[in-house]
Amino acid sequence: MPFVNRSDDPGQDYFVDGITEDIITDFSRLSNLTVTAWNTSSSFKGKTVQPQELKKKFGVDYVLDGSMRKSGDQLRITAQLVDASTGKQVWAERYDRKLADVFALQDELTKKIVQALAIKLTSAERGQLGRPATANFAAYETFLRGQQYFKQQTREGNEQAREAYQRAIELDPSYARAYGGLALTHALDFRSGWTDAPIETLDRALTLAEQAVALGNNIPQTHWALGFVYLFRKQYAEAEAAAIQTIKLAPSYADGYGLLAFVNNWQGKAADAVQNMRKAMALNPYYTYEYPWTLGLAYFFLGRYPEAVEAMNDALEHNANAPLPRLFLAASYIRLGRQDDAEWEIDQAMILYPNTNLEQISTTLPLSNRDQINAILDDLRKAGVPDQ
């Protein structure tokens, strides 16, 4: 469950959420434990939910919850592990530490939970559990703020995230995750058409992602960033390998399966994409729009257009401003002979993104099959997308 911010300042939510997400990621790395993803966890933020209800909804055996209070240079964390069947407390602890000791605290917390659950660890897992990505608290705090900005998925948020990641690197030049985050801001600029120099932007993204992996080869998020960048460079084998490595490092990392499904789609493995996306959705039932969008894309490539329409509409219910689900929804409607519906979707897309055109779409779609690209462009042209 999302830890509760007990600080006097509600603006510290980014810090509390960031630590909670990191703890979840630590647990996702354990092969003998399945952990529900942060996005699903965060959907219960501010709500009181009984453990038995969570067991019924998600099939979980245990629930971890707690709170954090950040005051000056002090940090208090309380945490408890509850049996989801009975609602009885299995383990509980309170920690009062200096902020600078937050990394040791996270390490201790995760190890206590592993002991309480009697989880058997491999030698590699014992070596990696609780290992911080940085020892610099100021860099960590700045990085978490960058994460908050990046999740907005807007041009302004992306620029703010880039500034935060750059500052984190200045504070700790060996901070692998900050390099990975910075790489993703450039990749997002490329994908969204927010750059006047797309080739240079993608080259910069690759350089940063490679630095991230070189500095943190054992961190799943660095390989995720590298795989995402490789995909938009149309280096499909490398993108797939990076996504698979992400899952090897973190077997319960939902976004790792999501990335692999996304790569599968563009490299012509739509059936594999459906399978991997279903795994991601099982780990993250309260998914973001990218999940049904990726699933819908797989159905589109498989020629299952009614299912593609259903999934794309699900994606737009999660994020009405997402451009690609709307474009592929229009293409699906064209293939179903629903011309009016297709034109309406493009009208909405052009209101949100007036610079949308076929030339830009052709450049940024990371699809390996040129004939498929041309067919999609023809669908979008029929729906009303201008050539330039």
Give 272-305 pLDDT, tens digit per residue: 999 999 999 999 999 999 999 999 999 999 999 9
List the structure tokens of 284.
């993250």
Predicted local confidence at residue 127, as pLDDT: 75
What average pLDDT does range 7-34 have in this prediction?
90
In a domain, 255, yes or no: no
Q: For position 293, which CATH number holds?
A: 1.25.40.10
Asked if the structure places residue 385 within a domain, the reply is yes
Q: Is residue 17 part of a domain?
A: yes
pLDDT of residue 130: 63
Say if residue 31 is in the same domain as residue 13: yes
pTM as predicted: 0.88
Residue 226 within any structural domain of the chain: yes
Task: Identify whether residues 316 and 340 lie together within a single domain.
Answer: yes
List CB contacts of 345: < 8 A, sequence separation 6 or more: 326, 327, 329, 330, 333, 383
- Are 76 and 146 part of one and the same domain? no
197 and 240 within one domain: yes
| Residue 124, in any domain of the structure | yes
Q: Are strands 74-83 and 4-5 parallel, antiparallel or unpaired?
A: unpaired
* Of the listed ranges 19-23, 141-145, 186-190, the one predicted with least confidence: 19-23
Structural domains of the chain, count? 3
Domain end, chosen from 70, 103, 128, is at: 128
107 vs 110: CA distance, rounded Å: 5
Are 166 and 228 in the same domain? Answer: yes
302 with 367, same domain: the answer is: yes
Percent of the chain with pLDDT strictly greater than 90 = 79
Q: What is the mean pLDDT of residues 353-358?
A: 91
259 within a domain of the structure (yes/no): no
Q: Are residues 192 and 231 in the same domain?
A: yes
Q: Which pLDDT score, from 0 to 100, does residue 178 have?
A: 98
262 part of a folded domain: no
Q: Examine residue 275 and state whether it is found in any structural domain, yes or no.
A: no
User: What is the domain extent for residue 68?
Assistant: 4-128
> Are 96 and 159 contained in the same domain?
no
111 and 150: one domain?
A: no
Query: Within 10 A of 388 (CB to CB), how many other CB atoms are there?
Result: 6
Can you give the pLDDT at residue 105?
85
Same domain? For 24 and 107 the reply is yes
DSSP string across 282-317: HH-SS--THHHHHHHHHHHHTT-HHHHHHHHHHHHH
164 and 244 share one domain: yes
Same structural domain for residues 150 and 244? yes
